[in-house]
Structure 1
């Protein structure tokens, strides 16, 4: 098993325990905060917005821990100016948000454009730019228009590629004169696996776990390529922007020096990052996926391979945590997707000590060294692309018992950001082309299946008192960090 001592001789990077400052990063390095439409906007039935699969999913009893939904969320639709003021006051360069497809085309089909939706996002973008904040826009963050799911099976139907292309082009045409940074999909793996294998995310399907996740991923890749092709052919030269794809990766560290564990860790990474990046960089799914899944994995035509080839200007990485990976002939992990990987995910060192301090979510441990390894892996495996860390952060448990000032003093989150950013700085020194870091999340918000029981925000949202906003210690830490106030390193957080 993994020995902790092996990670204490510089392999992990001593930086994670020490100071980090703004000067450790290039001058043009982007620091931002991130959210997504369904998690923060609310106004689900206002402004001409059509229903999304998450609206429907939240009505299924037992799917959301606290039986909540995003109907109001944290009401950014009405409070975006207040939220943008907070971003500006904290000194961030950028705001990553997503556009709700059903706010643009209520039925998703592309025939009936919702002018109120266009106006809302124009106002949001213009207000950001007035404050000197760059918009980083995600086209798809899991909230498919419900009509597309009901009428044609959503991501299971290849025809959706065309509808996504129409939606993407509408966004480029309406917002691209001001938006210079586009993301096609956020964490397509989560949609494929949690939405169509385990059924714990919208649309809640688990009927065909050995085929549907791979079909969904295939269509998302083709939709990504279609959108990038439209952007590059018709908009990029005129608008001067860039477009990429955001993937999530829990770093996979071999649990021992045994070859089988090293191979299992490599296999795990191929099932996370390789699933999407291999087709883009190497023309097909990873060999190990083809071996393990056979005909369950769809095939690309020559034309599709050509369209996918190098279809990213940058790679977005959402990274929160890490695990040790051991080979397991009969994987203890539940479900087809994990069993196909023949591995066990382990959250303890050899001596039984936790891999890192635990956050509120059962899957999230504070493991700073993993982010450096993940960044270096992408750099070495995928031709050293420009990388933006598009999400990174940790959560606290919702608890309305203590006084608010105790909830605002989020010491572990401060430690998280300080130590993870130190490792990002090390990865840049190692040669990884990392260009930005976006903290998840700007605000406490609707955390999908966990509802409002988990708080990831730099800013506390008081759900009991009018959704008032209160910056936490971590927000003030970023304020000092971004201003270059290095004196704070000698203070106790």
Structure 2
């Protein structure tokens, strides 16, 4: 296996999933949701403590160093850093905390990669203005981004505006797995547009500050789920086309090309649900594109033609009026999470980025395997023998290496996550980390995969075990 020099061997987490709510003045939407309805969360475990990173970041970062990570992505919590959202004045305790974390990463030889929003909108902005439905909130977000750049860009060189904006759309406005749990297709479409505009406005701030001249770069992190049809029929391939437009190309095109897919716009206009926009906003999106892309990949998207023609529907607009999910016989599954395991898709993603998006620099910003009840795999020494995770990573890296050998500009692989973290409604039901976390004692223990990954990183991939059949 051959990977580029200085390849990122790392892992990803986020502020709201690791830090806990210690000393936060404001609540984000998940803090609020948990306070209102703790029964909605697995075992009623909320974000109050998470993995205690706020208090144990020094010890946690030492563990990350011990397993050989050279880069780690996390996020700044808007609700922790900012005191007054209108003026973007800061909470000094929040500033001090993030300064200490950034410095600790650097002191331990780990590159800090910082994301600005990981689903965690301050709930005040939802209650006052409607959250991401509001273009005023977009401007407040841009102010917050600018403040982060001012405070931390002397040391943080890798910035990302959003993690998985499509999840904000799907979870909050279509399928009710994130707050505010609205089902409204037209609102979802406006929110999607507003998120693309918010990203561009943050990049506009970045560009005006000329941070590229200081060695910084800025991007966006997108969850890409390649679409595969149930058959080669015209109807199934039409379902694939719309699935690609909605699930992947909406944010890929706006982030990299500075415009939205014309075919998608045509469908939304025909359905009378197209977002409200201005020429000035279009110019901002066009002129402020990303410099680097993060790709989160977990599973493919298998689709077939919908059973009912979309033209015959009279109910509110939903994207799946143009496709139905397809359960392919014989799929290889992670039964705990309910997701298909299909490593070749990472190669397919790489080919699309190379051939259709200018071969932009990118990295795998998340990949991973959530498994429940990992204590089933404890050995006599108290270590979790997660061979399934080692195999999962190996197979994805094999396809990634093939793509790199064929010219893909991929510079890194980050597992989700370094330490088992809190996962929204699922809380700690499934575990993803290289390092286990006993949430009752906050005792953290390196898993077999962590020691294995240390050797992989140390040899730049040359030590990878071949799990191919």
TM-score by length of 2: 0.92
Q: What displacement does 1:270 show? A: 1.2
Q: What displacement does 1:213 show? A: 1.0
Provide closer, same or farther for how the CA distance between residues 290 and 221 of structure 1 changes in structure 2, counting only shifts above 3 A.
same
CA–CA distance in structure 1, aligned partners of residues 394 and 175 of structure 2: 34
Q: Number of residues paired by the alignment?
A: 458
Residue 52 (str. 1) matches residue 33 (str. 2):
no
Residue 412 (str. 1) matches residue 393 (str. 2):
no
The 8 Å contact of residues 65 and 450 in structure 1, kept in 2 or not, is answered as yes
Q: Which residue of 1 aligns with 2:430?
A: 454
The 8 Å contact of residues 32 and 93 in structure 1, kept in 2 or not, is answered as yes
Q: Which residue of 1 aligns with 2:285?
A: 308
Q: How does 1:384-395 map to 2 (within 5 A)?
A: 384-395=359-370
Q: How does 1:7-46 map to 2 (within 5 A)?
A: 21=1, 24-42=2-20, 44-46=21-23
Q: Which residue of 1 aligns with 2:325?
A: 345
CA–CA distance in structure 2, aligned partners of residues 366 and 202 of structure 1: 28
Provide closer, same or farther for how the CA distance between residues 67 and 109 of structure 1 changes in structure 2, counting only shifts above 3 A.
farther
Which SS does the other structure have where 1:50 is aligned?
A: coil
What does the per-residue CA deviation read over 1:430-487, in whole Å, with 9 as the maximum and x for residues that have no partner?
Answer: 22211111110111111111111111111110123x1111111111121111122856
Structure 2 residue corresponding to 1:131, chosen from 108, 112, 118: 108
Q: How does 1:199-210 map to 2 (within 5 A)?
A: 199-206=176-183, 209-210=184-185
CA–CA distance in structure 1, aligned partners of residues 465 and 423 of structure 2: 32
The 8 Å contact of residues 51 and 106 in structure 1, kept in 2 or not, is answered as no
CA–CA distance in structure 1, aligned partners of residues 407 and 58 of structure 2: 38
The 8 Å contact of residues 197 and 336 in structure 1, kept in 2 or not, is answered as no
Residue 101 (str. 1) matches residue 92 (str. 2):
no
Provide closer, same or farther for how the CA distance between residues 409 and 403 of structure 1 changes in structure 2, counting only shifts above 3 A.
closer
Q: What displacement does 1:313 show? A: 0.2
Provide closer, same or farther for how the CA distance between residues 467 and 60 of structure 1 changes in structure 2, counting only shifts above 3 A.
same
Residue 291 (str. 1) matches residue 266 (str. 2):
yes
What does the per-residue CA deviation read over 1:27-71, in whole Å, with 9 as the maximum and x for residues that have no partner?
Answer: 1221211001111101x141x431111101123434323222110
Q: What displacement does 1:365 show? A: 2.1
Higher deviation after alignment, 135-144 or 259-268: 259-268
CA–CA distance in structure 2, aligned partners of residues 487 and 159 of structure 1: 51
The 8 Å contact of residues 34 and 439 in structure 1, kept in 2 or not, is answered as yes
Provide closer, same or farther for how the CA distance between residues 100 and 483 of structure 1 changes in structure 2, counting only shifts above 3 A.
same
The 8 Å contact of residues 245 and 316 in structure 1, kept in 2 or not, is answered as yes
Q: CA RMSD in A?
A: 2.4
Q: Which residue of 2 aligns with 1:165?
A: 142
CA–CA distance in structure 2, aligned partners of residues 142 and 324 of structure 1: 25
The 8 Å contact of residues 173 and 185 in structure 2, kept in 1 or not, is answered as no
Q: Which residue of 1 aligns with 2:95?
A: 118
The 8 Å contact of residues 330 and 339 in structure 1, kept in 2 or not, is answered as no
Q: Which residue of 2 aligns with 1:243?
A: 218
Q: What displacement does 1:98 show? A: 0.4
Q: Which structure 1 residue ranges, 4+ long, deviate > 4 Å from structure 2?
A: 399-407, 485-488
CA–CA distance in structure 2, aligned partners of residues 460 and 331 of structure 1: 48
The 8 Å contact of residues 156 and 219 in structure 1, kept in 2 or not, is answered as yes
Q: Which residue of 2 aligns with 1:440?
A: 416
Structure 2 residue corresponding to 1:77, chosen from 54, 58, 71: 54
CA–CA distance in structure 1, aligned partners of residues 146 and 210 of structure 2: 9
Higher deviation after alignment, 181-190 or 318-327: 318-327
Q: Which residue of 2 aligns with 1:12?
A: none
Structure 2 residue corresponding to 1:427, chosen from 403, 421, 424: 403
What does the per-residue CA deviation read over 1:144-201, in whole Å, with 9 as the maximum and x for residues that have no partner?
Answer: 1111111111111110111011100110000000000000000011011111222221
CA–CA distance in structure 2, aligned partners of residues 30 and 397 of structure 1: 28
The 8 Å contact of residues 230 and 302 in structure 2, kept in 1 or not, is answered as yes
Q: What displacement does 1:111 show? A: 4.3
The 8 Å contact of residues 314 and 385 in structure 1, kept in 2 or not, is answered as yes
Q: Which residue of 1 aligns with 2:175?
A: 198
Q: Which residue of 2 aligns with 1:357?
A: 333
The 8 Å contact of residues 227 and 240 in structure 2, kept in 1 or not, is answered as yes
CA–CA distance in structure 1, aligned partners of residues 281 and 197 of structure 2: 7
Which SS does the other structure have where 2:40 is aligned?
A: coil
Q: What displacement does 1:331 show? A: 8.4
Provide closer, same or farther for how the CA distance between residues 422 and 70 of structure 1 changes in structure 2, counting only shifts above 3 A.
same
